[in-house]
Amino acid sequence: MVSTQRPQWRPPLPWQALLALATVTAAILVAGAAFAHNVTEGDAGYVQEVTGFRPIAFIYLGAKHMVTGYDHLLFLAGVIFFLYRTKDIAIYVSLFAVGHSVTMIAGVWWQIAINAYLIDAIIAFSVVYKALDNLGAFRLWFGVQPDTKAATLIFGLLHGFGLATKIQDYDISPDGLLGNLIAFNVGVELGQLMALALILLAMRQWRARSAFARQAYAANVLMMVAGFALMGLQITGYFVA
- Reported as a single tens digit per residue, the pLDDT across 61-105 is 889 888 888 889 999 999 999 999 999 999 999 999 999 999 999
Burial class, 15, CB count within 10 angstroms (exposed 0-12 / middle 13-18 / buried 19+): exposed
Assigned domain for 48 exists: no
Q: What share of the chain is helix, strand, coil (3-state, %, to 5)?
A: 75, 0, 25
Assigned domain for 151 exists: yes
Q: Tell me the C-alpha distance between 55 and 121, whole Å.
A: 30
Assigned domain for 127 exists: yes
Mean pLDDT across the chain: 84
Mean pLDDT of the 169-197 span = 91
**pLDDT grade, residue 166 (50/70/90)?**
confident
Q: Tell me the C-alpha distance between 11 and 34, whole Å.
A: 35
Quick one: what percent of the chain has pLDDT higher than 90?
59
Specify the number of domains making up the chain.
1
Find, among 160, 164, 169, the residue nearest to 47 by Cα: 169
* 234 in Cβ contact with 118 (< 8 Å): yes
Assigned domain for 33 exists: no
Assigned domain for 20 exists: no
Assigned domain for 224 exists: yes
Quick one: what percent of the chain has pLDDT higher than 70?
80
Find, among 155, 149, 207, 144, the residue nearest to 7 by Cα: 207
Find, among 42, 188, 48, 173, the residue nearest to 104 by Cα: 188
Q: Tell me the C-alpha distance between 80 and 95, whole Å.
A: 12
Residue 83 identity (one-letter amino acid): L
Domain coverage including residue 204: 54-240
Assigned domain for 14 exists: no
pTM: 0.83
Assigned domain for 40 exists: no
